[in-house]
Amino acid sequence: MALYVVVVGAGVYGAAVSASLARRGARVVVVDAGAPAGGTSGATFSWTNSCGKQPRPYHDLSVASMRAHQRLAAETPHGDWYHECGNLEWADGDAEREELRKKVDGVLEYGYQARWLDRAEALRLEPDIDPAELPADEIAFFPREGWIEPTRLIAHLLSSASSRGAELVRDDAVTGLDVSGGTVRAVRLASGRRLSADAVVNCAGPQAARIAELAGLALPMRNTRGVLLYTSPVAVSVSRVVHAPRVHLRPDGAGRLLLHTPEIDGAARVSATGEISVEDSAVEKVLAAGRALYPGIRAATVESVRVGERPIPGDGLPVLGRAAGLPNFHFAVSHSGATLSVHAGDLVAAEALGEDHGDTLAPFRFERF
């Protein structure tokens, strides 16, 4: 008999878990307080990487997840949401350069692909960068890294789940969980609907702690905001993820670029009515840094500014798999969802249906808190 599983959240994790559950024959309902990809997954830099991730199990999980993205895109017609284009990174200042050296040494020790480039080699990869913005050498290149288009990936995964009978419930927040005898029996929604469940998977991203609390579990989170700038289309060759000292950027389709720097994240302000805005001066500073790096985008304007809330568990590591004290309640929550979602979501879905992935998921259990 098929198990009934309720997946809370329709971002990259919720979509990946739902697709995997449905493929395995479960009866799936995925619920979201808003629209699919309408939360963090729709406002993310979505860099796929395992660049300096520690400890080793986190690195290994991320590498396996990058391979899972590669496989899924290869086996899916028109699966071009995945861009394995590489990542360039360099640093200013002695301390920052030493940190970059340590990161490269660390990933090389793990067998991760990385190499050093000089200015001429970097310009062959990204010819429209202003050469004056590049150091003479010590430019790190990570060739297997890249980025995904999360909204398109989510659309594919949810379509796959729906084709196997999964139901999508949108604009209907979870308001309660019926728990008795150490088991979640049902999920209650704002609409008044009650969904019976053999298992529940918490993929609620920034709201994961609230959903866990409804189950009587305390999940420590230290969410942060991320501010992203999307430019107008520009006739400039930008082919890779670039982490320069004053700006991070990547292509975003149709000639647009996505810009970010950690400095701008603190410029997001929330009004008394809950509206989020970003200071104009901060936006202009990031755009100016992008124009300095790629002079060809001087005519670019900012088409939109998006603010996403990053779901970060208390110790920074993912929270994955069942809760020991409530064994039919499962987690798929992390900061690096763009990288981990397809692979980690598959592991969590398999465990929700009784498969044993204890060795792989052991470092990421809820009980470590």
Tell me what pLDDT residue 256 has. 96
Say yes or no: 96 and 188 in one domain: no
Say yes or no: 228 and 218 in one domain: no
Q: What is the pLDDT of residues 345-369, one digit of tens each?
A: 999 999 999 998 889 999 999 999 9
Say yes or no: 122 and 230 in one domain: no
Residue 2 has pLDDT above 90, yes or no: no
Ordered alpha helix ranges (H), the chain? 12-23, 56-75, 94-109, 119-125, 150-163, 208-214, 262-265, 280-293, 337-352, 358-361
92 falls in which pLDDT band (50, 70, 90)? Answer: very high
Residue 78 within any structural domain of the chain: no
Say yes or no: 255 and 292 in one domain: yes
Say yes or no: 304 and 325 in one domain: no
Mean pLDDT (the chain, rounded): 96
Tell me what pLDDT residue 76 has. 95
Looking up residue 158, the CATH number of its domain turns out to be: 3.50.50.60
Residue 130 within any structural domain of the chain: yes
Say yes or no: 137 and 273 in one domain: no
Q: What is the pLDDT of residues 262-318, one digit of tens each?
A: 988 988 888 877 788 898 999 999 999 999 999 999 999 999 999 999 999 999 999
Domain total of the chain: 3
Residue 325 within any structural domain of the chain: yes
CA torsion, points 215, 191, 25, 165, in degrees to nearest 10? -170
Residue 133 within any structural domain of the chain: yes
Residue 170 has pLDDT above 90, yes or no: yes
Q: What is the pLDDT of residues 112-131, one digit of tens each?
A: 999 999 999 999 999 999 99
CB burial string 186-195: b at 16+ within 10 A, e below: bbbbeeeeeb
Say yes or no: 58 and 162 in one domain: yes
* Six token digits for residue 113: 């692909």
Tell me what pLDDT residue 252 has. 95
d(CA 179, CA 265): 38
Tell me what pLDDT residue 1 has. 54
Quick one: what percent of the chain has pLDDT higher than 90?
92
d(CA 101, CA 30): 43
Contact 144, 59 (CB under 8 A): no
Say yes or no: 183 and 57 in one domain: yes
Say yes or no: 306 and 325 in one domain: no
Place of tokens 């861009």: 83
Q: Where in the sequence is the domain holding 91, given as residue range(s)? A: 87-143
Bridge partners of residue 331, in order along the sequence: 202, 321
Say yes or no: 137 and 161 in one domain: no
Residue 331 within any structural domain of the chain: yes
d(CA 152, CA 97): 36
CA distances from 38 to 12, 16, 171, 261, 344 (A): 11, 15, 10, 22, 21
Q: What is the pTM of this model?
A: 0.96
Residue 173 has pLDDT above 70, yes or no: yes
Q: What is the pLDDT of residues 283-298, one digit of tens each?
A: 999 999 999 999 999 9
Amino acid at position 5, single letter: V
Say yes or no: 306 and 229 in one domain: yes
Residue 121 within any structural domain of the chain: yes
Tell me what pLDDT residue 263 has. 86
Q: What is the pLDDT of residues 72-86, one digit of tens each?
A: 999 999 889 999 999
Say yes or no: 259 and 233 in one domain: yes
Provide the residue count of the chain: 369
Quick one: what percent of the chain has pLDDT higher than 70?
100
Residue 36 within any structural domain of the chain: yes
Residue 74 within any structural domain of the chain: no
